[in-house]
A and B are shown apart, each in its own frame.
Chain A
């Protein structure tokens, strides 16, 4: 047998042809250069000391007295007397003593390693408490106003990075709205209350992330074949027994997936620590892994040698926890499972109408939940459109203004940030479509060995902390591409295109894969039998049938690229002129002293929210289903 015949035979065996090969090379090269190599470089940096494998940096990390503090330092609740100026009508200023209950300001402090884990566990726990009942109510009952609630429950998912935390901080601060109303005006509270530190981080993250648990559990319940419950009822199970024996166990995978994702998102979150820094300045809210790595980045402006390698060890520690979490739920977040879940939603649902009293009970739960959890979004709009930020006593807005919204166009640096974001996200989306579609097609249709690895690689970015990718890029590209356009010191913007590509790839890959799963493979096989090759069949048959999925997925990828935080704010710090919207927002909240800058951040937040609403609505319409439920 000649070599040529051998190659032909092998190609036939694995269904390889030039088209598949091009896709494979494209997908693998992008994933290797922009995901695997940067993270490998990080691993090498953390584990190699003077040319040898070493756990020196980890030993140093764990022996840092600030890393692990057990038992925790500081009291969680502490009452202190403070003094506040009051100006009397005659103009004299007097000091009034007031008791203030500080929650979280002085403690607890477990050290930054444990603080992160503690916060993430608490956020997961509270998300469970809020998300699971919500999901069961929404999936199982019909009550007046349900469709309105189903929309309102998505409001907390609209990302307004930093601003949301800033607003919560302002509300819960010593002279914030809550104290003004409850203590000063209504006298309901006997003392002023201030919530700060880790409890504030937990509160903000819970409000932001509980919808992820809700949506996952909701999807899981909706995917339970109704005949399973009907069968159980037929055999005599009902009420709580039915719930305990059938519904609950079948929705456990959704709960597990939601919880792990929330846990990971909390670990990597920078929005809450930075936003709270804007509201409270320095404090315990900054003593979490993600913020410490972020803070180290500012040293990198002087070159990567400025960063002490324990930071890499810290990043690897974070990566280790996130990866462990990802592996524990991998079964539920691979492309294949996602496609299955999408399919399931076509079943006929069993939804119960309920009595007025029960409906009232549901309102008592849902209305405060929706109101409180969407306050960051409401607050962002108020902050952007009024003088709220400038008002201290009373801390309430007094007049409407277009000033901040118009500065989106008038202020050149703000406008440039918007243009930067649009540019990076648009180019990233082109890559995402190419790679996401190719990867999904390879996983769904080819017979190449190792396509499960591709499946894993395009889904793992969901659970990879952005800050890890940022550190990896900094190390890899600063080391091996110094002086080239790909150097993070020259063009962080160019690298951001690729961090967006990698981080937002899963949205498109999943929707496209779901689309491919819904096309019967015989549609393509007929085309082959009629003489059309792989490429022709792909462009004439497959592409027209999945174009909706591509558009839907790409819109989500686009809008979540616009709102990307971790890599945007870290890499841009190396060259601020190339910073995107979120970088500008973080600067406005955290780094700039001017009061009005917060309002510009809020205006940018409003812009992001509008883009998200548009993209998600179109996406839902095109995909005829709820947005990518797992791992938003």
Chain B
């Protein structure tokens, strides 16, 4: 178990800055997820940690020891790739035993450890198969076993589940989470899937354009996004534009779309001022059809759009020129064109400075 410290790391490919001055600390045994849209630099950051890319600037430390100039084979990391990268000319056993053979582990010990690793990933009995004889999920488990069997200092996973179908993906991410907790290996996991990131991580680093935008627990980054990019990238939300009317100790009062909203800033160090243009972020699950008038914004509008999603309905309510997204029970009896009154708790309206608005391009169309 080691800590991984990344200090002012920068990597350019030609003119493109893939990783831009990133600093990040990962604790002993922590499960850190790097998440962001494609091209945000998350994979490059992972490869820099693995030693597969060489940084232009900055340091990488494992347990305080500088590994920046070490080649990948001296870093003692275990790596799992999106395409599994199983060697087609080797059996499952040989694939898993490879790292142990490199480390000159005695033959008997190798047998024992490979058996242990196979049990860990629940693949006992498949030692003699070749990779092409395995299903995608099984290949994924072999790749994982191969990385784990050498008991690396750091486990690095690059989009390990994106080649699996949706159901298996959910199953495997629970499995990976369980194994990681069981073994306590410091783990860095790259994904573009925000839902996967939220369910699997101890902490999440949200990246965009080569930089880390916010680091925090899944709860923090989801409930208290510090800017619009994080808010719109993780989960769904409605963004309204408004102007600050009043800043008090408890709430900030904002005028938007002809309504007065009360809301909060995600963190005390984020300051907004009267007259400032701001964004209001509202999660659909926080919007309901009833509530306590003393702690809720109450908004009236017209149902504009309904979409059936199996276990729930997505509904958009039009107020003025904007639409607020909410989710309702699947059997709720509503129709497009109906008038509707919605309740949004003050605590659930996040007020964010409107700067950096261009990043919202990534936000889902609402």
Contact = CB atoms under 8 A, between A and B. Distances in A.
Contacts of B283: none
Interface stretch (B68-76, B227-235, B270-278): B68-76
Contact of A525 (B79, B88, B102): B79
A529 B102 contact: no
A247 interface: no
Given A12-B69, A533-B73, A527 B81 contact: no
Contact of B85 (A9, A520, A540): A520
Most buried by B among A8, A525, A533: A525
Interface string A512-552: 00000000101101111111110010001100110000000
B71 A530 contact: no
Given A531-B150, A536-B102, A9 B69 contact: yes
Interface size class of A (residues with CB under 8 A): 20 to 34
Most B Cβ at <10 Å: residue of A522, A525, A529: A529
A341 B98 CA distance: 33
Interface stretch (B47-55, B167-175, B188-196, B200-208): B47-55
A528 B143 CA distance: 14
Nearest to A547: B89
B75 A529 contact: yes
Contacts of A527: 73, 98
Contacts of A529: 50-52, 72-73, 75, 77-79, 147, 152, 156
Contacts of A15: 54
B75 to A, nearest CB: 7
Given A12-B69, A544-B89, A531 B79 contact: no
A525 B81 contact: yes
B83 A522 contact: yes
B145 to A, nearest CB: 12
Interface in B60-102: 69, 71-79, 81, 83, 85, 87-89, 98-99, 102
A399 interface: no
Secondary structure dominating the interface of A: helix
A393 interface: no
Contacts of B87: 523, 526, 541, 545
Contact of A522 (B76, B85, B88, B102): B85
B72 A528 contact: yes
Contact of B50 (A8, A525, A544, A545): A525
B59 interface: no
A548 to B, nearest CB: 11
Interface string A12-36: 1101010000000000000000000
A5 B66 CA distance: 13
A8 B69 contact: yes
Nearest to B84: A522
B103 interface: yes
Interface in B120-170: 143, 146-147, 150, 152, 156
B51 A532 contact: no
Most buried by A among B72, B76, B143, B147: B72
B99 A530 contact: yes
B73 A526 contact: no
Contact of B71 (A17, A522, A526, A540): A17
B140 to A, nearest CB: 13
Contacts of A536: 102
Nearest to A527: B98
Contacts of B98: 527, 530, 532, 540
A18 to B, nearest CB: 12
Contacts of B69: 5, 8-9, 12
A530 B72 CA distance: 8
A348 B143 CA distance: 31
A533 to B, nearest CB: 5
Nearest to A529: B79
Contacts of B73: 527-533
A5 to B, nearest CB: 7
A530 B146 contact: yes
Contacts of A540: 98
Nearest to B103: A531
Contacts of B143: 526
Identify which of A526, A533, A544 gathers the most chain B CB atoms within 10 Å of its CB: A526
B71 A528 contact: yes
Contact of A13 (B54, B81, B102): B54
Contacts of B99: 530-532
Contacts of A533: 71, 73
Contacts of A17: 71
Contacts of B50: 525, 529
Contacts of A8: 69
Contact of A526 (B51, B74, B85, B103): B85
A530 B98 CA distance: 8
Contacts of B77: 529
Given A531-B103, A544-B89, A525 B83 contact: no
B89 A526 contact: no
Nearest to A447: B54
Contacts of B52: 525, 528-529
Contacts of A530: 73, 78-79, 98-99, 102, 146-147, 150
A541 B101 CA distance: 14
A13 B85 CA distance: 25
Contacts of A525: 50, 52, 72, 79, 81, 85
Nearest to B85: A522
Contacts of B71: 12, 17, 528, 533
B55 to A, nearest CB: 9
B324 to A, nearest CB: 42
A533 B147 CA distance: 16
Interface centre among B81, B83, B85 (most CB of A within 10 A): B85
A12 B102 contact: no
Q: Which 8 A-B pairs rank lowest in CB-CB distance, beginning with the nearest?
A: A530-B99, A522-B85, A529-B79, A528-B72, A522-B81, A526-B85, A531-B102, A528-B73
Given A525-B72, A530-B98, 10 more contacts: A12-B54, A15-B54, A523-B85, A523-B87, A525-B85, A526-B87, A530-B79, A531-B99, A545-B87, A545-B88
19 contacts: A5-B69, A15-B54, A520-B85, A522-B85, A525-B52, A526-B81, A526-B87, A526-B143, A526-B146, A528-B52, A529-B50, A529-B51, A529-B72, A529-B79, A530-B73, A530-B79, A530-B98, A532-B102, A545-B88
Interface of A: 5, 8-9, 12-13, 15, 17, 520, 522-523, 525-533, 536, 540-541, 544-545
